[in-house]
């Protein structure tokens, strides 16, 4: 196997395993740490927004213009909004009451009568995240197979994004069962959708890869990441009631990426 392909697979695995990292972090908190969650979610959003607009979409637009002229820019923009549309479709297929975007304070999870419901909710969170993680794994693989730098940045953004999602899965299951092992396992398995998505990208997309297609895919990935930021990360941070910390996190994430991309 080509070293670039192997590298792309490793990136997708690392990004997926970040949900397990979120599980581990959740074990250190007996109640919702609103400040931590708001800051982490905001930081994830800042990283994803900056990479999407400054790196992925900008390079896609520039590259397609060189290949296709003015029509290339139109194609890049169309691919960007197609990525948003795909994310919207996936989001609509998940019932809102079970959607991981909906924040639930951990303090409200301690009542005994909520235990079985909590476990079911945690399991459904894991299923919903698996659906979301599958195209993300494809995005990381394609980015890594195209560019080492682009792959690392995409994997980093998605990994940071997956950490609080891992918390979302593990906390209700942990409170329902009292088992850290079960909570970690459910969160870990949901992250395995990332390398699974990468595998599908390798066997299905790779034979048809061209420079033009890669540029279009990168623009689409940018759309997916922007939608996830505005639909998932920022509303979730606001639900936890730490608006200013979330904004500070966004700025910090953008600042970090701007320094890294110098």
Q: What is the pLDDT of residue 106?
A: 46
Looking at per-residue pLDDT, the higher value among 18 and 146 belongs to 18
Q: What is the pLDDT of residue 156?
A: 83
Closest Cα to residue 98, out of 77, 68, 131, 127? 127
Provide, rounded to the nearest whole percent, the portion of the chain with pLDDT above 70: 75
Q: What is the pLDDT of residue 27?
A: 67
Q: What is the pLDDT of residue 251?
A: 93
- Average pLDDT over the chain, rounded to whole? 77
> What confidence tens digit (pLDDT) does each residue in 54-103 have?
888 998 999 999 999 889 999 999 999 999 998 888 777 765 544 444 44
Give me the mean pLDDT over the 169-197 stretch: 80
The tally of CA atoms less than 13 A away on the side-chain side of residue 230 is 11
Q: What is the pLDDT of residue 125?
A: 65
Domain ranges of the chain: 3-28+35-260
Give me the mean pLDDT over the 211-235 stretch: 82
The pLDDT-based confidence of 187 (bands split at 50, 70, 90) is: confident
pTM over 0.75: no
> What confidence tens digit (pLDDT) does each residue in 40-66 have?
778 878 888 888 898 889 989 999 999
Measure the CA–CA gap between 7 and 10, rounded to whole angstroms. 5
CB atoms within 10 A of CB 112: 6
Tell me the C-alpha to C-alpha distance, in Å, between residue 207 and each of 2, 6, 155, 176, 204. 14, 16, 23, 46, 7
């Amino acid at each position: 196997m080509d070293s670039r392909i192997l590298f792309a697979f490793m990136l997708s695995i690392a990004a997926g395993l970040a949900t397990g990292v979120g599980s581990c972090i959740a074990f250190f908190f007996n109640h919702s740490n609103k400040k931590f969650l708001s800051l982490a979610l905001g930081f994830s959003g800042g990283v994803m927004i900056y990479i999407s607009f400054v790196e992925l979409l900008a390079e896609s637009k520039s590259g397609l213009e060189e290949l296709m002229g003015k029509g290339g820019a139109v194609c890049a923009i169309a691919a960007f909004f197609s990525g948003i549309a795909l994310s919207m479709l996936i989001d609509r297929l998940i019932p809102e009451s079970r959607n991981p975007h909906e924040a639930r304070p951990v303090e409200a999870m301690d009542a005994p009568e909520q235990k079985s419901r909590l476990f079911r909710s945690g399991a459904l969170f894991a299923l919903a995240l698996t659906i979301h993680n599958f195209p993300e794994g494809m995005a990381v693989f394609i980015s890594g197979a195209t560019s080492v730098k682009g792959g690392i940045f995409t994997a980093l953004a998605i990994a940071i994004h997956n950490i609080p999602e891992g918390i979302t899965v593990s906390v209700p299951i942990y409170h329902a069962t009292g088992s850290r092992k079960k909570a970690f396992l459910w969160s870990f398995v949901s992250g395995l959708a990332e390398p699974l998505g990468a595998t599908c990208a390798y066997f299905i997309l790779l034979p048809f890869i061209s420079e033009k297609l890669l540029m279009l895919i990168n623009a689409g990935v940018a759309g997916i990441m922007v939608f996830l930021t505005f639909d998932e990360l920022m509303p979730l941070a606001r639900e936890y009631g730490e608006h200013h910390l979330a904004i500070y996190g966004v700025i910090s994430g953008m600042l970090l990426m701007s320094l890294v991309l110098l």
